[in-house]
Amino acid sequence: MTLIADGPTATQLTTTDPRDGSAIATYPVAGPADVDRAVTVAADVAHWWRAQGYAGRQKLLQAWKSEIATNARDLASVISRETGKTPDDALLEVVLTLTHLDWASKNAGKVLRRRKVASGLASYNQAASVGYEPFGVVGVIGPWNYPFYTPMGSIGYALSAGNVVVFKPSELTPATAKWIEEAWNRVAPDKPVLQVVVGDGATGEALASSAVDKVAFTGSPGTARKVMAAAARNLTPIVVEAGGKDAMIVTRQADLDAAVGFAVFGGMGNAGQTCAGVERVYVEAPVYDAFMEKLVASASRLQPGPEASASYGPMTLARQSEVISSQIAGALERGATAVLGGADSVKDGYVGPVILTGVPDDCAVVQEETFGPVLVVDRVKDIDEAIVKANATEYGLSASVFTKDHHAGLEIAERLRCGAVSINSVLGFGGIPGLPFGGRGESGFGRIHGADGLREFSVAKSIALQKSKAFIDLLTMDRSERDMHLAERMLHMLHAKGKKH
C-alpha cells in the first residue's frame, strides 16, 4: 500500500498484492470533509432504515446475504488478492460471515423488541417494559487480517439492530469493503445504508471524531487508544476488539492428535494472522514429549507461498515481518530453543512455521501479540500452573482447552481470564452466531455477535406506565403522615426480615 500526494491537499491510496507487490487499485483518500458528508448522508437515510422495522430490514438483509452468497467466489478472490491468503481460506471467511448475517437479521426482533418487566410489590400499580432502539449512525473501523468476517461482526449486527453504517476499512483491503458496498447497492439502490470511506489512520480518526453515534473498532491496543481519544471529543461510545495472545492448554487427558491439528491450524493458519487463534501452548508434563513430536512433524509439512495450493500466504502487512523477527531473536538470545524454524524463517515477506520452547515468560514473544506463524510451547507440571501462565498477559481475548474430561474442561474454561474459550477445538465459538465475542484487558471491551452483539448496537429504553393511583402515595410533595408510616412499615417488612424493630 502506498499513499501518493496529488496536489496540495488531495491524496491517493494504491493497494498492492502482498504476494508479489503488484498494484491492485488506486482510491481517493477520504478527508474529514468527505467523512462528514458520508455521515450526513447516513443520518438522512437512517430514518428510512429504522422505519422498515425488523421484518423489513430482515427481508433486505437476507437479499443482501443471497447476493453475496451467489457471488462468493468472486468476493473470495478479492479477499485473497488483497490479503495474500489462499482462495480456500478466503472462501471460508465468506461462509462464516454469512452465518452471522443470517442469524442477526432473523433474531434482531426477538432480542430487541419491547418486553414486559416485573414491577415488584412496591410498584404494583406500574406496568414496566424495556425495549431497544438503534443508535443511528455507527462508524466501523475494520482490520486487514479478516477484512470481511471481522468488520461484518459489527456491520451485520448494527444494521440488523436498525442502525446505518459508515465503514472505514483497513487501507490494505479497501476493495473488499467496496465489493460488499456495491452488493448492498444492487439490493437497495439509492438507499446508502452502508457507505465505505477509504483512507489511512487520519480517515479513521476523522470518522471516530465525526457525528457518528457509536464507533466499532478492531485493531491494535495502541490504535484503539487513539480512536477512543478521537471518539471522546463527542462522548461517542465505542466497542473495541484489540487483539490477543491466545493460549491453548493441553491436559494429560487430551486427544493429542486433535490438539496438534488445532494448534497448527490456530497458530499458523492465515499465516498466524488470527487475533483469536493460538500463540502460546501449555502442555502437561506427562504428555509433553509426545505432543511436541507430533506438533513438529505436523507443522514441518506446511509450505507458505504465493500459490493457491500453499499452506498459507505472506504477511499481509509487510512490516509485521520485523515484529516477528524481533520476537524470535529476543527469545533465542534469552536461551529459548527453536525446535522448528527460527530467525531465518522470516524472508521475502513470508514466514515459515516456527516453534519455540524454553522461552522465558517475560519475553516479548510470550507477552506481546506476534501475529505470525509462531508457536511458543511450554511444559507445565499441572493444570493450575497452566492456568496461571495462560492468564499472565495483559490480553484476554480467547483460549482453548483440550481434554477428554468435558467436566474438567468446563472448570478450566471458567478459570481462564478471557472473553471466549473453545474446548477440544480452536475458534469453535467463531462459527456459532448466538455466542458473543470480545475480550478484556488489552484485548478491548464490548461484544459483537449474538444477542449481546445486537444489544451492543442498541440503546435500552425503559418505560413505566402508571395504571392506577398508588395505595401509598410517596411521589408527591404533599406526602401524608399515614403514607410515610405505611412506607416505613413496608420497608421493615420487605427489607429487614428477621430483624427486631
133 is catalytic: no
CA–CA separation, 223 vs 405, rounded Å?
Answer: 40
Do residues 64 and 235 lie in contact, with contact meaning Cβ atoms separated by under 8 Å? no
* Angle, CA 353 vertex, CA 350 and CA 357 arms, to 5°: 135
Tell me which long-range contacts 32-35 makes (C-beta under 8 A, separation of at least 24): 32/206, 32/210, 34/197, 35/166, 35/168, 35/197, 35/203, 35/206, 35/207, 35/210
Number of residues that make up the chain: 501
Cβ atoms within 10 Å, residue 412: 23
Tell me which H or E stretch contains 339. Answer: strand 337-340
Cβ atoms within 10 Å, residue 334: 14
Check 93, 275, 279, 368 and give the catalytic one.
Answer: 275
**Starting from the edge strand earliest in sequence, which strands make up the sheet with 2-5, in order?**
2-5, 11-16, 23-28
275 is catalytic: yes
CA–CA separation, 73 vs 129, rounded Å?
Answer: 45
217: its cell numbers? 473498532
CA–CA separation, 313 vs 370, rounded Å?
Answer: 16
Check 82, 93, 171, 241 and give the catalytic one.
Answer: 241
Active site residues: 241, 275
